[in-house]
Amino acid sequence: MTTANLRLMAVAMLAFATSVSAAPGGGDAAAAMHRRVLTIDSHVDTPTFVLRKGWDIGERHRPQDDFSQLDIPRMEDGGLDAAFFAVYLDQGPLTPEGYERAHQRGIMKAVAIREAVLKHGDELDLALTVEDAHRIVASGRHAIFMSMENAYPVGRDLSLLPAFHALGVRMIGLVHEQNNDFADSATDDAGPKWHGLSDAGRELVRRANDLGMVVDGSHASDEALDDLIATSRTPVILSHSGVRALLDHPRNLDDARLERLAASGGVIQIEAYSPYLVATPRDPPERADAEDSLLKKLGITSLGEATPGQKRALVAGVRALDQRFGKPRAGIDDFVAQLLYALRRVGPDHVGIGSDFDGGGGVAGLEDVSDYPEITRRLILAGYDESDIAKIWGGNVLRLVERAQAAGKSR
Ligand SMILES: [Zn+2]
């Protein structure tokens, strides 16, 4: 999830191009291979939609109608077997009141995920272990893992961490777009506060290790990632990040760190978030004003309260604003370029896919989870075989979950 334009879920919604489908290679064999391998997206913000009144993950939606990018019918279309649903909260005040509120809302979000999974038990099930994931997928259903993006809801009282583990959280990122009490963010305008992890951050990593959670370094600053790798007893994941060699962005990893991450057994999951793929200037202040005017014109204050008609008008209005302000939008070629770069650099044991769908992710040709078979086709075209593709699509993430749980003190 990204905070910029969060209210409108507006990031890079310019031009809903259809998937690349006519290019040579792959074809039916690629589609069949895509169905055979266990596919996992390591970072989606679908819980934001799940919490929305009237929105049902069992129904088919379209980005054109409400920005949504994942539901059960489209998981079927896209051959997506499993996903990590993020318990994500905006960074709020680092005060007792702020933490208390975040804790409550974090619990609510985790419970909402569990409720949605229970409601659709014929199609979904909560995965707590690697064995769960295999069992659920073998039963023809989709496995939903739970992760936490930004440890803000845990708060300073780390004794609350087991509560989130008990609810099902199996992967945890410490920080989001601003520095917090645990770690420096890659994108805080104020610069580093801790020059890596704070003591509380190191303690959180140790406790997450004890609980058998995978530690997630996405959104952490370079120094914080170095500390995470040095502190965590099990390999670190970057659940949704990019590579700096192709775009110099603080959320993207430089080659030296990419190699250090891989050497430590870790994995980078390449994300389909346009500003990490193509250079994107910051929105001018007039953009926020124009969004306010758009909402006012539609008579709503957020997407959550909009009628279907208002939602469609909002999506169309945001697309028009993207065009008016000349916002660039990446395409699937940019995403695949980063994926292949990372693969060439560190090999198929250390790279995967974490789209950030429903949290700002989505590029032309990779609009929602139904477009996933195209990634497999591109990997085949690039020379990767089924065993490589199985690692890239899910094997690597499961290996990290397995390692974390084997090293944990509770299961
Ligand atoms: Zn994120």
Ligand 1 geometric centre to CA of 230 (Å): 22
Ligand 1 geometric centre to CA of 241 (Å): 8
Ligand 1 geometric centre to CA of 97 (Å): 24
pLDDT of residue 410: 55
From residue 27, how far is each of 22, 31, 130, 406 by CA, in Å? 9, 6, 30, 39
pLDDT of residue 90: 87
Ligand 1 geometric centre to CA of 26 (Å): 31
**Exposed, middle or buried, 296 (CB in 10 Å: 0-12/13-18/19+)?**
exposed
Q: Which whole number is the average pLDDT over 199-206?
A: 98
Model confidence at 26, pLDDT cuts 50, 70, 90, reads: low
CA pair distance 208, 142, nearest whole angstrom: 26
Please answer whether residues 159 and 151 qualify as being in contact, where contact means their C-beta atoms are separated by less than 8 angstroms: no
Q: Which whole number is the average pLDDT over 182-193?
A: 97
What does the pLDDT look like over 359-376, one tens digit per residue? 999 999 999 999 999 999
CA pair distance 80, 73, nearest whole angstrom: 10
CA angle, residues 83, 89, 93, in degrees to nearest 5 = 160
92: Cα within 13 Å, side-chain hemisphere: 16
Q: What secondary structure letter does DSSP report for 319?
A: H
pLDDT at position 172 over 80: yes
Ligand 1 geometric centre to CA of 171 (Å): 13
pLDDT at position 25 over 50: no
Residue 124 corresponds to which tokens in the numbers above?
A: 């979904």
What does the pLDDT look like over 36-89, one tens digit per residue? 999 999 999 999 999 998 899 999 999 999 999 999 999 999 999 999 999 999
**Exposed, middle or buried, 312 (CB in 10 Å: 0-12/13-18/19+)?**
middle
Please answer whether residues 397 and 405 qualify as being in contact, where contact means their C-beta atoms are separated by less than 8 angstroms: no
Residue 81 corresponds to which tokens in the numbers above?
A: 């077997």
Residue 174 corresponds to which tokens in the numbers above?
A: 């410490």
Ligand 1 geometric centre to CA of 107 (Å): 19
Higher pLDDT, 304 or 378: 378
Residue 149 corresponds to which tokens in the numbers above?
A: 């993006």
Q: Domain segments of the chain: what residues?
A: 16-280+332-407
Ligand 1 geometric centre to CA of 140 (Å): 29
What's at 23, amino acid-wise? A
Model confidence at 19, pLDDT cuts 50, 70, 90, reads: very low
Handedness of CA 337, 369, 171, 359 (dihedral sign): positive
What is the SS3 assignment for 391?
Answer: helix
What does the pLDDT look like over 318-352, one tens digit per residue? 989 998 998 999 999 999 999 999 999 999 999 99
Ligand 1 geometric centre to CA of 184 (Å): 14
Ligand 1 geometric centre to CA of 351 (Å): 17
What does the pLDDT look like over 240-272, one tens digit per residue? 999 999 999 999 999 999 999 999 999 999 999
* CATH class of residue range 16-280+332-407: alpha beta
What does the pLDDT look like over 140-170, one tens digit per residue? 999 999 999 999 999 988 988 999 999 999 9
Q: Which whole number is the average pLDDT over 202-218?
A: 98
pLDDT of residue 239: 98
CA angle, residues 190, 193, 195, in degrees to nearest 5 = 120
pLDDT at position 22 over 50: no
